[in-house]
Chain A
Amino acid sequence: MTDVSEQAEQTDQAARAEQGGRNGQAEAKQDQPPTVIVDNLHIVYRLRGGGPGKAKGAKGKAALREQALAAKEQQDQEPQQDRGGRASRAVRRLTGRSEQAKKGGRKVHAIRGVSFTAYRGEAIGVIGSNGSGKSTILRAIAGLMPPEAGRVYTEGQPSLLGVNAALMNDLSGERNVILGCLAMGMTPQEAYAKREEIIRFSGINEKGDFSSLPMRAYSSGMAARLRFAIASAKNHDVLMIDEALATGDRKFRRRSEERIRELRGEAGTVFLVSHSNKSIRDTCDRVLWLETGSLVMDGPTEEVLEAYEEFMNG
């Protein structure tokens, strides 16, 4: 496992890949113009303060993972530094004794030199075990996480639909629909015109008039459905979906998979992060497999999923 993250191994892999030449999916789509080019991307999280178990704001899965990784990395790299308490760490930070301290806290190298090109009309699944950097790479493509090194080029402005896309819990579903549309840059006229359609697609009104209730009355599945409905109301050049469909029921999942196919048909590129190999198989024709921030495999769905399943069971 740890070998993969090492730079030497990676360049070695790269060299072999080059010798082998390009094949598979990327070749087949060469006639289509590229929509996303990720060029040797590195992402580093910087964490400030809060030893393991003390960090505040560790709400999401990502935060917990970062924390755990940070703790691990610190043990590996500089065991002598974590002797003091919070205050002495703050003093160290202020005096700026080491380069790391100067930059404020510890680092987590979440993405380590990933490169790939996505083409128009592709639906790309992103898989990997927990903490492999799937969500991070989507955020980086969306331009929401500044890269440490490398570049991401995209066509238009990619949209990321995540599990914790912000909606306001104290507001009604209807009002959230309007807010979401305006945030995507629509005019009020467009937003009001789309409102009915979005609510119908989300299906939240199937069990009574939920769209006028505050969102804190919704189940997690209903909230996820509304989020997806809002995000997919606009045609995106690049749409990225981060496990957002996981909480929906079967009926909604079918409907949203259909919508994903439609969006692809409208000459966009769709990325889908999921732990459900079935929904990847049903919607994607190409899969990227990440492990500890490096790209392990990139190819046609069946081929990669087979290798991945073997790896996970083995």
Chain B
Amino acid sequence: MALDGVTRDRPDPHAAELASKYGLSVTGARPGMIEYIRRLWQHRYFIGEFSRARSSTKYTRARLGGFWFVLTPLMNAAVYYVIFGLLLGTSRGVEDFISFLVTGVFVFTFTRDTVTSGVKSISGERGLIRALHFPRAVLPLTQVSMKSRQVVISMVVLMVIVIARQNYPDWSWLLIVPILALQLMFNTGLAFWAARLGSKSTDAAQWLPFVLRAWMYGSGVLYMVEQRAANAPTWALTVLDVQPAAVYIDLMRYALMSPENFGTQYLPAHVWLIALGWALLALVAGFVYFYRAEEEYGRD
């Protein structure tokens, strides 16, 4: 039988030796952290172009096209306004409830969207992973970049609404830039974490939405948490006050809304340090967590 044919080329008993002699490296091995970041930097144009391409094709088959970029956040805000503002009356005790609500919804949506798309960023691009070689961190970063494009549009919509509610631009509006930058760092870290979580199994994609919804209700998006949870122990109130989503949301409200409606009394002490701390912690921890499984992506 032909299968009895002799295998001619035996493995070199000293394969590793031979490899190092000719400068061959183990294929697919995870490079060092510095080298990895360098390669990631080399692919920055790919991240930009890829996210631009993905965004531009997102609504190509919708009749309203790119209009959805504006419509989606608006409709979100409208639904929450009807349910919480009109039906449940959570607006009691909150000045300028519409600005309060819309800012909260838009800021939280930025984080939520980044995490939910991050969780699918590896598992949804298996074809690309198996076809091409690039640092896998490109994929969650592409999603982050897409959501950042979207948030620019949302912010314009938000500003229009806030101005219509007679909160006119002043110097504090300049704070929008650092706030968004810090939130972006925080979101990127979460996206890395979610990407690895969702890379092996799709379980994370199932339970994450529930966690995110619970997080939203605990973040004072729709009401003042302090008023609702007035009977809670102090430590719980502190936690609710300094957790990242609440920090970024309240900072944005502080920047956009007029001081008499939302002033510094609603912000925790050292709020900027806390915001920066969350951003750095999430980014570094998320990136390291993602990087450590680099070789595993692409395996079923």
A115 to B11, CA, bound (A): 5
Is the beta-carbon distance between A20 and B49 smaller than 8 angstroms?
A: no
Given A37-B24, A142-B27, A179-B50, check contact A20 B6 (CB 8 Å). Answer: yes
Chain B residues with CB below 8 A from A34, complex form: 18-19, 22, 24
Query: From residue 92 to 146 of chain A, which have CB atoms closer than 8 A to chain B?
Result: 104, 115-117, 139-146
- B8:A22 contact, CB within 8 angstroms: yes
| B25 touching A153, Cβ below 8 Å | yes
Interface residue? B43 (CB, 8 A): yes
> A155 touching B7 by the CB < 8 A rule?
no
How far does the Cβ of B49 sit from chain A's closest Cβ, in whole Å?
5
A160 interfacial contact with B, CB 8 Å: yes
Contacts of A170 in B (CB 8 A): 57, 60
Which one of A139, A140, A143 has the greatest number of beta carbons of chain B within 10 Å? A143
Q: Are A182 and B27 in contact (CB under 8 A)?
A: no
Chain A interface mostly = mixed
With A18-B10, A143-B133, A146-B296 given, is the CB distance from A297 to B57 under 8 Å? no
Cα A179 to Cα B46 in complex, Å, equals: 7
Stretch at the interface among A183-191, A200-208, A251-259: A183-191
Counting chain B CB atoms within 10 Å of each CB, which of A104, A140, A153 scores highest?
Answer: A153
Please state if A26 and B8 are interface contacts (CB–CB under 8 Å).
Answer: yes
Question: Contacts A152-B26, A153-B25 hold; do A166 and B9 have CB atoms under 8 A apart?
Answer: no
B11 and A154 contacting across the interface, CB-CB below 8 Å: no
Most buried by A among B6, B27, B46, B127: B27
**Is the beta-carbon distance between A143 and B201 smaller than 8 angstroms?**
no
7 cross-chain CB contacts under 8 A: A45-B300, A117-B12, A153-B15, A160-B131, A165-B127, A166-B127, A296-B2
| A-to-B contact residues, CB < 8 Å | 1, 3-4, 13-14, 16-18, 20, 22-26, 33-40, 45-48, 104, 115-117, 139-146, 151-155, 157-160, 162, 164-166, 168, 170-171, 175, 178-179, 182-185, 187-188, 191, 289, 291, 295-299, 307-308, 310-311, 314
